[in-house]
Structure 1
Amino acid sequence: MPDLPAVDLLALDPDFDADPYPAYAKLRAQGPVHHIRGGGGERFWLVVGHEACRAALTDPRLSRDWRRNGHLATGLAAPPATDGPGTAHMLLSDPPDHTRLRRLATREFTSRRVAALAPRIQEVTDGLLDVMLAAEDRRADLVDALAYPLRMTVICELLGIPDLDREAFRGWSDEIAAPASAAAARAAQAEAVPYLNALIAAKREAPGDDLLSALIHTVDEGGDRMSEDELLSMAFLLLLAGHESTVNFICKGIRALFAHPAQFALLRSDLDGLIDGAVEEMLRYDAPVETAPPRVATEPVEIGGSVVPVGGVVLIALADADRDPARFAWPTRFDIRRTEAGERGHIAFGHGVHFCLGAPLARMEGRIVFRTLLQRCPELALDGAQGERISGLLVRGERKIPVRW
């Protein structure tokens, strides 16, 4: 087929950075696959629509293994660097490597371990709110006061990061997950790698009750275990996959409630009965991760009548899939009772073999945070204009949410 001209998303909709959904809807009306141009001139193939996105997420010809297949990529200035330490994890692998790593991880990252975290997450949430609510002016930034420190604490406790090291770890985490520059990200990784290697060595000698200690010592029935680099990579995966996405989930969820006061009032009237449905609707309505991590086509892939060529870098728009009217009635309506009507099946956590391993933890964090916040702050309201935003095709969100109570 002839090469399709690349669409400039900002030219399609000048407000794309602030609200991408109208542009996605325009593209979806034309078909499920579009050749697009990024802000730096990169070329991608964007998949939209619920059915097409689900199919793309499970297509083995769309590879996440950039170590093996990144050389095929076209449209990028250079393939992502994947030959350094910390890149031998599930998110950068395909079956059978992915199958093996996920099997080892799920032996320890179990529903029982996640459930056991609930009292501690509740305790941390209460402690952060104690400090926030002590402000004499009854104002705070919800990101700095609650969303970010909660997630940072959970990650550090999962990995068994000592209290004294957490401030340094927070700085590395910020630069790796949301870098100010490529140089800053490399510098943070250069400091984080030896720290994590030393931590793994220490836990090998004296294991704790944290997830990282468990992964170091877990062995499957055949005697397989994670290598040193795979353990380091798992630590990075927990850091990267859970950092911005969970903070984004909390921020976008509270924004949706502020923007829909009738739904906000409904949730306040029955927190216990409606919190589960509210969490699922927050995830569907404004996905924490806008597009799934990029894939590269290892052979021509036909999707909805369009062909992604070998080397095409594919972005799967999870956010648009969950606003598709072919899958959800009135998809642009925020409705916390949607699941009661039988409308389920959002793909905010992905689909297929790369379905987010941390989804149960993220859901539990959401339930605890929103329930506790609304119980303790019944008059919570947005305080002033929208703060600084994070814009990008992978993660889009806000760095500040000013609130009053």
Structure 2
Amino acid sequence: MKPGHPVTRRDRPRRRPVDWERRLYLTAHPFAYPLLRGLARRGPIVRVPGLGVVVNDASLAREVLMDGETFRKDGPGSPGDLWTPVLGPSVLLNMEGEAHRALRRRLTDLFVPSYTEALCDRVLEEPLGRLGDRLRRGETVDLVDAARVMAAAVISEVIGLDARTETAWRDLFEQGERVVSMVSLRTRRLSPSQVRRAREVLDPLGDIAEKAYLGDESTVMGRMRALGLSREEARGAAGAFFLTGTETVATFIPRLVALLHDHGRLEDAARDGALLGRAVEEAMRVTTPTPVMLRSVHRAVTVGGVAVRPGDRVLIATHNCCRAHGPFDPDRPHPPELRRLWFGAGPHFCIGYPLAMAQIRRVARTVLVAAPLEITERSAARGVLIPTYRRLAVRSVRAREGDAA
């Protein structure tokens, strides 16, 4: 460029695209997230005073998760401390040993793929039809709101609620969000007032779930009775499904679409079902819906060269384990140690995985039919446990061009 030559738009250096995933995490956890990522540079496993033993490596994380006798969810500093006061002592989130294995065996057939596929087909047919129609007409759609509606519709069916409108589903989602938002990456246990507020939300839902448990065996709650669960176990399971089954799906779907859009793969995924399947798994890795997992040590062992002792708190930095594999790339296979680590491993692998995936596939396919899409507005959510968009507005480019023609 000659001296004095005016700078044109073409001459200006291109700005780096915004890393929206990083922005989502920083907005949700402005202090904890930089600390979490900083710990990734300290090595595969490191003892941090006041925090515990932090695992940043996928192979070591899987080793810990597979050993349910040494690393447990029912000791000090584990998820049991957090959720037992709210959900009771008999839910999979806070159990170990033979009691956990017995309950899990009874629940194994609850969410078999054939049942979850049929459930999602039935429950989501109408709301997905409305979503698809809006996109085909070229309307701007907030995928955050749409994903919340879909997730709440399914969980409403699971726990036996008679909620049939989008307004009712939004209200149900907001109730769960009020409970989950009490937890941060640093939370060890809920305060008495937080426990009271959580139970004000969950107890009425438990009453409804218990009534469904006593009713038709074709429902999820009725099937729990047929599988041999007690009323208390069924109530606890309904509460756990409500808290974990809505947030994961609702936060993931907008992030999946945004990742495909930002990496120029939306139309590819719309045309290729196999690519969409890989993209869902890869987006799960990048977004890491469970960024941290906690365990309590019950016997002395050595992990990755670090000695851990009974009473130690182990913090599995799942997000660090997953992001070490690199940026979003649905064409790159996952190594064995990373496979679905974000849903856990071993005795506590997420029992609701088939239900979550059935919902995600249906909503994603409906949205991608309208591709190419443009994102007209987006913003990050504050005060949430799982990082997510506050709003992600999309519109079909094809529908807009058709209107212009």
Report the equivalent of 1:63.
Answer: 72
- 2: CA distance between counterparts of 1:250 and 1:217? 33
Deviation of 1:352 (Å)? 0.6
List per-residue Cα deviations over 1:8-39 (Å, max 9, x = no partner): xxxxx9899469888666544532223447xx
- 1: CA distance between counterparts of 2:256 and 2:83? 33
Report if aligned partners of 1:141, 1:402 keep a CA contact under 8 Å in 2.
Answer: yes
Report if aligned partners of 2:298, 2:311 keep a CA contact under 8 Å in 1.
Answer: yes
Report the equivalent of 2:286.
Answer: 285
Report if aligned partners of 1:21, 1:320 keep a CA contact under 8 Å in 2.
Answer: no
Report the equivalent of 1:252.
Answer: 255
- 2: CA distance between counterparts of 1:48 and 1:140? 38
**Where do residues 5-404 of structure 1 align in structure 2 (5 Å cutoff)?**
17=29, 27-36=39-48, 43-59=51-67, 60-65=69-74, 69-70=75-76, 73=77, 79-80=81-82, 82-83=84-85, 85-120=87-122, 122-130=124-132, 132-133=134-135, 138-144=139-145, 146-163=146-163, 169-179=172-182, 183=193, 186-201=196-211, 203-204=213-214, 206-207=215-216, 209-218=218-227, 225-261=228-264, 263-268=265-270, 270-292=271-293, 294-324=294-324, 331-339=325-333, 345-376=339-370, 378-390=371-383, 392=385, 395-404=386-395
List per-residue Cα deviations over 1:146-185 (Å, max 9, x = no partner): 1101000000112221127766644432222334996466
Deviation of 1:93 (Å)? 0.6
1:332 partner letter: G
* RMSD across aligned positions (CA): 3.5
SS at match of 1:302: strand
Report if aligned partners of 1:49, 1:320 keep a CA contact under 8 Å in 2.
Answer: yes
SS at match of 2:59: helix
| Bigger relative contact order, structure 1 or 2 (CA pairs below 8 A, ≥6 apart) | 2
- 1: CA distance between counterparts of 2:130 and 2:205? 27
Deviation of 1:47 (Å)? 1.0
Report if aligned partners of 1:140, 1:403 keep a CA contact under 8 Å in 2.
Answer: yes
Deviation of 1:199 (Å)? 3.9
- 1: CA distance between counterparts of 2:199 and 2:86? 10
TM-score where L is the length of structure 2 = 0.77
- 1: CA distance between counterparts of 2:238 and 2:260? 33
Report if aligned partners of 1:158, 1:212 keep a CA contact under 8 Å in 2.
Answer: yes
- 1: CA distance between counterparts of 2:369 and 2:91? 39
1:216 partner letter: R
SS at match of 1:53: helix
SS at match of 1:383: strand
- 2: CA distance between counterparts of 1:387 and 1:323? 20
- 1: CA distance between counterparts of 2:125 and 2:235? 29
Deviation of 1:234 (Å)? 0.5
1:55 partner letter: E
Report if aligned partners of 2:209, 2:235 keep a CA contact under 8 Å in 1.
Answer: no
- 1: CA distance between counterparts of 2:83 and 2:334? 45
SS at match of 2:315: strand
TM-score where L is the length of structure 1 = 0.77
Deviation of 1:399 (Å)? 3.0
1:44 partner letter: G
SS at match of 1:296: strand
Structure 1 residues not aligned, in runs of 5+ = 1-12, 219-224, 325-330
- 1: CA distance between counterparts of 2:112 and 2:102? 16
Report if aligned partners of 1:48, 1:317 keep a CA contact under 8 Å in 2.
Answer: yes
Deviation of 1:192 (Å)? 2.9
Deviation of 1:235 (Å)? 0.3
**Count of aligned positions:** 361
- 2: CA distance between counterparts of 1:188 and 1:98? 24
Deviation of 1:217 (Å)? 2.5
- 1: CA distance between counterparts of 2:205 and 2:266? 44
Of 366-375 and 109-118, more deviation after overlay is shown by 109-118
List per-residue Cα deviations over 1:193-221 (Å, max 9, x = no partner): 144235414541x3252111110222xxx
Deviation of 1:374 (Å)? 1.1
Structure 2 residues not aligned, in runs of 5+ = 1-24, 184-189, 397-405
Report if aligned partners of 2:56, 2:316 keep a CA contact under 8 Å in 1.
Answer: yes
